[in-house]
Amino acid sequence: MISEKVSFKKSKYGYYLIILAAALSALIHVISKPMLENSENMLEINPIVLAFLIYFIAGIFFTPVAKKTHSISKFGKKDWMFMGLIGIAEVSALITYFYGLSTASAINASIFSNSEIIFALVIAMLVFKERLRIKESIPFTMIIIGMMVIPIGNDLFQNNFSLGHMVTGDLLIILSGVLYAVDITLCKYIGDRFDTKRVTQVLSFISAGVAVSLIAIFQIPMNVDLTQLPGIITLSIFGTGLSTLFFLMALKIIGTVRTVLLYSTTAVFGVIFSGLFLSETITTTDIFSLGLVLAGIFLLRNKLAGKESEEENYVTTSNATPRRRTRKQSKQMPKIPYETKIKNEIVSQGWISAG
């Protein structure tokens, strides 16, 4: 009885952590938006400079956190090669996102925030050479319509079906989702081998190195106002650092599926914060689009996780079965369903999305 109460309190603590992580992650859409726009009251920061500062400060933040984890000396040449590719993909994604956010609305950016999961799902399906079944196709279509068709169609309608700055910004944010999907897929190799806190620290410094290289190559001035530093530090420590830590803690307490499912509420917090702090108008179309996306994510992730218990039973049975099996027993052993393979490929790497 006592153990059940402790377990319940622990689960409750996990739910609080992931909701807090989602809220902190939503700050990225709201705080960075004013810094990237032309304004008389605030100096405009170049997206590449802002990306460098965020990754550099995040790397410093994670250094003491990752102190007791795997040593960097344990990384091999192949590991460094993968982390270099991940760093390039990740910083490219963030820079593309910032360029898109500079012209798009923070509300649309919040709605697009789950796009990397969809693109990662597509990549995983290509890797496993599987197709979505009808049960998975319905929520997948709901997400695509709510996340892309409705927001972009609405912006096109408001701009007389011309590719204005707002529509171009939307497309850039979606492109950043594709780059983040590549990032998530590559992180599967590193994430399985090393502690996530150490990987996040190293990747932050690698991404900062890629960004500062771009600054040097294109001779971009480091124009940053002192009044903008608190916002940049907030983005780095709270929006990236603490958000990732809370995500990881929740992952261990309440499990993968619940964690990533609740983390999808980042879009909700982003829309609310955009209305409260940026005074952006939240329309009925925005609410409908967001609702469609969340409903689709809920249905899709539950479909992908539906066979999780079957896989656990399979692993338990496999471990309990003697090494010698008859041919008949081997043929009867259940195969791990492709939904679970895809879930393991994407959802288990959800901590990258948190960062």
Task: Please name the residues in contact with 13: beta carbons below 8 A apart, sequence gap of 6 or more.
Answer: 253
CA distance 72 to 197: 12
Coil, helix or strand at residue 70: coil
Confidence at residue 305, expressed as pLDDT on a 0 to 100 scale: 58
Average pLDDT, integer, range 187-199: 73
pLDDT one-digit tens code per residue, 144-154: 899 888 998 88
Domain boundaries, the chain: 17-319+326-354
Terminal Cα-to-Cα distance of the chain (whole angstroms): 38
CA distance 191 to 354: 14
pLDDT one-digit tens code per residue, 117-167: 778 777 777 776 666 676 778 888 888 899 888 998 888 888 777 777 778
pLDDT one-digit tens code per residue, 306-335: 544 444 444 444 444 444 444 444 444 444
pLDDT band at 8 (very low <50, low <70, confident <90, very high): low
- For the record, the structure tokens of 144 come out as 């695509």
Confidence at residue 127, expressed as pLDDT on a 0 to 100 scale: 73
Is residue 44 within 8 Å of 220, Cβ to Cβ? no
pLDDT one-digit tens code per residue, 245-281: 888 788 788 877 778 778 888 999 999 999 999 999 9
Q: Which of 108, 44, 111, 107 is nearest to 276 (CA)?
A: 107
pLDDT at 6 over 60: no
Share of the chain above pLDDT 70, in %: 78
pLDDT one-digit tens code per residue, 35-44: 998 777 778 8
pLDDT one-digit tens code per residue, 72-84: 878 888 889 988 9
DSSP state of 334: P
Q: Looking at 17-21, 66-70, 265-269, 283-287, which range is the least confident one? A: 66-70
